[in-house]
Structure 1
Amino acid sequence: MLQTVGQFNRLPNEDPHLRLKFFLEVSDAFKIAGATQDALRLRLFPYSLRDRARAWLNLLPFDSITTWNELADKFLMKYFPPTKNAKLRNEITSFHQLKDESLYEAWERFKELLRRCPHHSIPCCIQLETFYNGLNLSTRLMVDASANGALLSKSYTEAYEILESITNNNYQWPSTRQPAARGSAGVHNIDAITVLSAQVTSLTNMVKAMTAATATVKQVTELSCVYCGEEHDFDNCLGNPASVNYVGNFN
């Protein structure tokens, strides 16, 4: 059963806390008459390790460990040193929502950071504030609207339940725009944004054509008089009766 759950091998992506949790779930499911819980755990723990991790355990001095707590402490000190704890704690306190990351994905990633660093010593209220401040503006507005006010004005329990409710709904109804699907008989379904872009392009071309036509008409009008054909407009033509009357001060 321990091999089925997975043996610890000191790989970079392996979580020692999670491995200890899996080990206890399996080992504590068995009882042997006359054997204490500590003795059973100490006997079974080597079977949860393999390769380099098993070699580390075998190199410990004989009789240097007599209780389960001593073994668990040595295991975590070896594979989860204070430097790694500090690194994960810094990832928690500097949390920010990634680009194109949904609220559900951000919330699950934040909870996973907390789980991977159980000794972060960050109070619950600070955890909530860190996550809220790490969200982008549009997501914060959505969260506050769902909370009927500022989320941080709620208690930790209320805010946690609100976030769980919003993220579950966000997971079931994702807002990310899906790529257009191909229809039957070679007909393609074009989404609304593509249609709108095409319409804007067409409208822009129409405006450019109208502007060019207006400029051409204006240029022709300015260069040729419809009355005498000279290079001036009709209003300034000397043969125009209205212009002659104006020049002679006739009423």
Structure 2
Amino acid sequence: MTFSIVGRSADGAALGVAVASKFLGVGAAVPAALADVGAVATQSYANLAYRPQGLALLGTGVAAPEVVKALIAGDAGPVGHRQVGVVGTAGPGATFTGPDCHPWAGGAAGDGYAAQGNMLAGPAVVEDMAKQWLGSASDSRIAYRLLAALRAGDQAGGDRRGRQSAALLVVAKGQGYGGTSDVLVDLRVDDHPDPVGELGRLLELHTMYFERPDPATLLPLTGELAAEVRQRLTDLGQRDPDLDEALASWAGIENLEMRIVPAAIDPLVLTQLRAT
């Protein structure tokens, strides 16, 4: 009833899950991830206990294939209907599809990922997810890699019943909001005619509001640019004599505080300021 991918970034620093389904609020049931530990996707008559159990096993150093075996062995429920994918901080990912899952059902796994789905339009859904993931190894942005893989599965037919919800969860140590959280991305589309497309729109907004700026693109706040920024901020009611303080105050109101750095301005922030 769902298709998903769990993955690890090329440098091993980030882990995540992307999932879509003809199911209300799939993000509340399927994904789980813990920084420096691993990621789990449980689906098809999902056993939500797999999430804490799987992460606990990964946290003790158990490899993903052995974690999957342990989850299945310890499940007193309808194991034949279960599906799960697991990835750790090193080594191959692992996936399991019970023989009683609604067709088409199956999975694929390799170094740093596992893709799986059930009640799908066909095997191309999982095949295309895996192919997209493997073909994007040079992209350092794991959230975009996971989303691209999910989109590939969606375009291959996805859930044969239709579309309803999607979710994206990415964790990395200290990379969350303000550096005080390990949750880098946590986005959910609970009920939408094009949930994967909407998830993409939300990820772009997330990038704008919550990612730190690329130091290579920063523009020094000097000369004519500083004068322009000062005038625009003054027109918006920000009259602090310290330009950095005035800019930071305005950015906080606009939810752009993660992109503020001293004595410079992010081009994205400048574009937003000019459009205000």
| Common fold by TM > 0.5 | no
Higher fraction of strand: 2
Which structure has the larger Rg? 1
Question: When the two structures are superposed, what TM-score results if normalisation uses the length of structure 1?
Answer: 0.26
Question: When the two structures are superposed, what TM-score results if normalisation uses the length of structure 2?
Answer: 0.24
